[in-house]
A and B are shown apart, each in its own frame.
Chain A
């Protein structure tokens, strides 16, 4: 068996005419959407605590008290979900030299001159950024969140530490929200991406255009 560099084990050429490439298996997709859902709910409830005029969002959860106890539980769901995701995706998200070149040409991406860029494996540097940013921010949010999770850990850390924690939590949350926007927008702007997480496959053209090395490796694989 050839060593894989740019693809994951489950990635498959599903059809050759037209080409459809399996990108995410069902488990990964469910995992993703759990993360997505918990992130959205966390954002909504978090924003309610964060900004007074959004407090009405707590009504979505059955009121302030419910939002308050749900938020950290959702946080745990997100953290566990992301941990699973992390294990699945980390290998293809290790930064490589290509990523540096890619980032240097970030304008060309926006201008859709992808020909000027190096061909890529399963993920581009932007995706890898989202992956690592999310990982770091979730870790930070988890840590600080536990410190201010009063109901479960009322006396875990002294009040001054909690003050730092709540500040860190809110900064991290804002950054995560922005990362989230970036991720969602990139997924929409880059047409053809969404199906990877909905149906699990992308078209060959999409793969050719954005992740040619990945496509090449998947196509060449016999395992």
Chain B
């Protein structure tokens, strides 16, 4: 080791080739799936964020390409289904995807081609983590990155159920769940994510969340000057904010962008399932079991008496004889 990797401040740097100590690891985990009482880490990293400025995005898929290369995934060579989305959906081999929406803007009469990079939003309140039953399979670091620890993943798919953005995908190859890691391995080395590094127009940028919000506000001012009165940032409070945030020209209508949820929340069904249901259910089961045990210990068993046997024999004899 020649030193500790720095905390990342931007995506635009060349990766080191010398061995450095990672600046992100187990000791930075603030939450882990199915491990409710995790001790607080002794340090807190600066929150990071990836900002996706939809208004700068040219839909070139460099992010998809860089993502596949960095993560060494092998997206399938599919077919053309009449649209530009390829691969057709997020998959365990494709952690990010450009989604294209053709929109005739009724207010301006202009046609708009809205292109959004889809992928994990790295929620502050991750639905996937809440849903995951495998201890330590999903972790959240103090810098905001939500990462899947594949060794711990059991492939149940509950993360898919928990995610308000429909992001995780189970690999048919190894039955483990995959999604964008925000390039936690790069961030650990002081680098930004591969997608942000590659993005030709820097529609994707990476830095501290505070810096990204500031950058977003600059962009929003620029967009407003170009007539996008509803330009704004997408950092949905329903999931506690996210560490992947968007600048949208039409922030009043997120769902225009290939169904980006207008107000994402961890679903009530998921909360019920992982909240009250879990407690009540277990309590009920526990009480039932405990009640049975107690009753068994202290109650009087229902025993067959000798008279019962006699009566039975009499009855049988009676019946048999009666027939005879």
Asked if chains A and B come from one complex, the reply is yes
Chain A contact residues, CB within 8 Å of chain B: 13, 16-19, 48-52, 55, 58, 63-65, 67-69, 112, 148, 150-151, 154, 159-160, 162-164, 166-167, 170-171, 173-174, 177-178, 181-182, 184-185, 188-192, 203-209, 212, 215-216, 219-220, 222
A192 touches B278 (CB 8 A): no
Residues B280-299 near A (CB distance < 8 A)? 280-282, 284-285, 288-289, 292, 295-296, 299
List 10 additional contacts besides A216-B315, A220-B322; criterion CB under 8 Å. Answer: A55-B133, A58-B154, A151-B155, A190-B301, A203-B312, A205-B304, A205-B311, A208-B311, A209-B308, A215-B315
Stretch at the interface among B158-166, B183-191, B201-209, B212-220: B158-166
How far apart are the CA atoms of A190 and B300 in the complex, in Å?
A: 10
B322 touches A170 (CB 8 A): no
Task: Let me know if B90 is at the binding interface, CB within 8 A.
Answer: no
| Most A CB within 10 A of own CB, among B153, B301, B313 | B313
A64 touches B273 (CB 8 A): no
Give how many A-B residue pairs fall within 8 Å (CB-CB): 177
A163 touches B288 (CB 8 A): no
Query: Of all chain B residues, which has the CB nearest A155?
Result: B89
A177 touches B309 (CB 8 A): no
Task: Let me know if B20 is at the binding interface, CB within 8 A.
Answer: no
A170 touches B277 (CB 8 A): yes
Q: Which of A13, A51, A63, A112 contacts B278 (CB 8 A)?
A: A51
Query: Of all chain B residues, which has the CB nearest A191?
Result: B303
| Chain B residues touching A, majority SS | helix
How far apart are the CA atoms of A55 and B295 in the complex, in Å?
A: 29
B133 touches A174 (CB 8 A): no
A174 touches B316 (CB 8 A): no
Chain B contact residues, CB within 8 Å of chain A: 34-36, 133-135, 152-158, 160-161, 163, 166, 170, 175, 267, 269-270, 272-273, 277-278, 280-282, 284-285, 288-289, 292, 295-296, 299-313, 315-320, 322-323
Q: Which of A19, A49, A51 contacts B312 (CB 8 A)?
A: A19
Chain A residue contacts of B303, Cβ below 8 A: 191-192
A50 touches B281 (CB 8 A): yes
A163 touches B34 (CB 8 A): no
Query: Of all chain A residues, which has the CB nearest B169?
Result: A154
A191 touches B304 (CB 8 A): yes
B302 touches A190 (CB 8 A): yes
* Given A52-B133, A52-B135, A189-B296, A150-B154 contact (CB < 8 Å): no
How far apart are the CA atoms of A219 and B307 in the complex, in Å?
A: 18
Closest Cβ of chain A: how far from B261's Cβ, in Å? 12
Query: Of all chain A residues, which has the CB nearest B163?
Result: A159
Across the A-B interface, the 8 shortest Cβ-Cβ residue pairs? A204-B312, A150-B157, A64-B154, A205-B308, A174-B281, A205-B309, A52-B34, A208-B312
Closest Cβ of chain A: how far from B139's Cβ, in Å? 14
Closest Cβ of chain B: how far from A166's Cβ, in Å? 6
Chain B residue contacts of A18, Cβ below 8 A: 309, 313
A150 touches B309 (CB 8 A): no
Chain B residue contacts of A160, Cβ below 8 A: 267, 269
B170 touches A19 (CB 8 A): no
Closest Cβ of chain B: how far from A46's Cβ, in Å? 10
Closest Cβ of chain B: how far from A54's Cβ, in Å? 9
Chain B residue contacts of A192, Cβ below 8 A: 303-304
Closest Cβ of chain B: how far from A68's Cβ, in Å? 4
How far apart are the CA atoms of A130 and B288 in the complex, in Å?
A: 14
A163 touches B281 (CB 8 A): no
